Structure 1
């Protein structure tokens, strides 16, 4: 299990995160909800290790992770493109994708069409889908997805959700997206980030009670 606790983050003396608990277990999708600017992306970056807060406690299977990152344990899909521009899609995929998942990953049409190209030669939607697939089929046990359903077509959204469900058999997911209905549909458990604190959501109607949604 991946556990994230006691995170404290501030920017320019403004408290952003202060009362945080979230976890991820293989076989489960944890949906992270919250309004724009509440700190969801910052929290995922802290878990991955690319943002250092004033304080944090992150552990994997009871082992404290001092820098928030363990090789091949956590993979992170950021909102921005992350593949290096000088490598071909195939070269990047060979570094990221789990060997055991390689055959399934390469069966996707978007890979076979663009494997010899470099990221700058693809459209934004094509690149976003490929980058998402590489994270979904990565070697990591825990997958952090920041806005995976944004900037892709409704058909692609359903395809990505189906892959998440399948990969969830062996991986734990933390997923956030402003398209909250997709999060509600895909998640086994929900966490709301509000006023710098996380709240466990046991019933979707609580999102209305907390003021996140006006109705379900």
Structure 2
């Protein structure tokens, strides 16, 4: 299977003169799950939004396989993005949301899932927070894009749903590159093949979990 490479370079962002991100370089390849860690306000979500073009940043450079893709329109079919906020309209039925989002050839396999079959006949507005989040995650992962950015995917999910989502992420990483960030850092650490810490506007590559203690992100107790 052909490998693809996403590179994000030169990203800088200020908000009210406060430097959020400074000269960020981030790389993700097909079959990688890159865990993006950092304290609240460190700029993780801002970085993902900049990558997909929802937030502007001067001099950013987004490359896929070495080809510049700086304009959001060029990334539409290349990168899927799971926003923290709901993106499926409440007025749709679950079946309609699936039919509008998933290739017709994939719908049957998409629905072979106890969590999906249990809500198929519902309206989106009638879903619980966990049911809606699960549906959104699966739709994003089933997209034909080469890369997936997941912002707070575990929010509202039950422990059983989290386990299933982790399996979905692992399965999709065989053909996609995935970048994930979540306050549930334990699951991010558990599922990631590589970890990156955003601190003081910079990106720090994490070679081992003990590095998170040295960087002041975790206490030694939190490693066990």
Q: So what's the TM-score if we normalise by structure 2? A: 0.91
Instruction: Report the Cα offset of residue 156 of structure 1.
Output: 0.8
Query: 1:125 and 2:130 equivalent?
Result: yes
Q: Deviations over 1:93-125 (max 9, x none)?
A: 223334554332111123223334332121111
Which residue is 1:167 aligned to? Answer: 172
After superposition, residues 87-166 of structure 1 pair within 5 angstroms as: 87-99=92-104, 101-166=106-171
Determine the C-alpha separation between the residues in 1 that align with 2:8 and 2:131.
33
How many positions carry a matched residue from both structures? 216
Alignment partner, residue 36 of structure 2: 32
Which deviations, in whole Å up to 9, do the C-alpha atoms of 1:139-163 show, x marking residues without a partner?
2110000111221111111110011
1:183 and 2:185 aligned: no
- In structure 2, the partner of 1:13 is 17
CA distance in structure 1 between the partners assigned to 2:219 and 2:115 by the alignment: 38
Please state whether the residue corresponding to 2:219 is helix, strand or coil: coil
After superposition, the Cα gap between the structure-2 partners of 1:165 and 1:139, relative to the gap in structure 1 and judged at 3 Å, is: same
After TM superposition, the structure 1 stretch with the greater mean CA deviation from structure 2, 92-101 or 50-59, is 92-101
CA distance in 2, matches of 1:201, 1:99: 40
* Mapped partners of 1:70, 1:99: distance in 2: 23
* RMSD (Å), alpha carbons: 1.5
Q: What secondary structure does 2:42 align onto?
A: coil
Q: Following TM superposition, by how much is the alpha carbon of 1:92 offset from its aligned partner in structure 2, in angstroms?
A: 2.3
SS at match of 1:20: strand
Asked whether 1:197 is paired with 2:187, we answer: no
Q: Which moved more, 1:46-55 or 1:157-166?
A: 46-55
Q: Please, which runs of 5 or more residues in structure 1 have no aligned partner?
A: none
Tell me, in whole angstroms, the C-alpha distance in 1 between the residues paired with 2:104 and 2:177: 19
Matched, 1:206 2:208: no
Judge conservation of contact 1:97–1:135 (CA < 8 Å) in 2: no
Is the 1:97–1:139 Cα contact (8 Å) retained in structure 2? no
Contact 1:9 1:55 in 2 (8 A): no
Equivalent position to 2:58, from 54, 57, 74? 54
CA deviation after TM superposition for structure 1 residue 34, in Å: 0.2
TM-score with structure 1 length normalisation? 0.94
Partner deviation per Cα, 1:67-113 (whole Å, 9 max, x = no partner): 24522211111111111223222222223334554332111123223
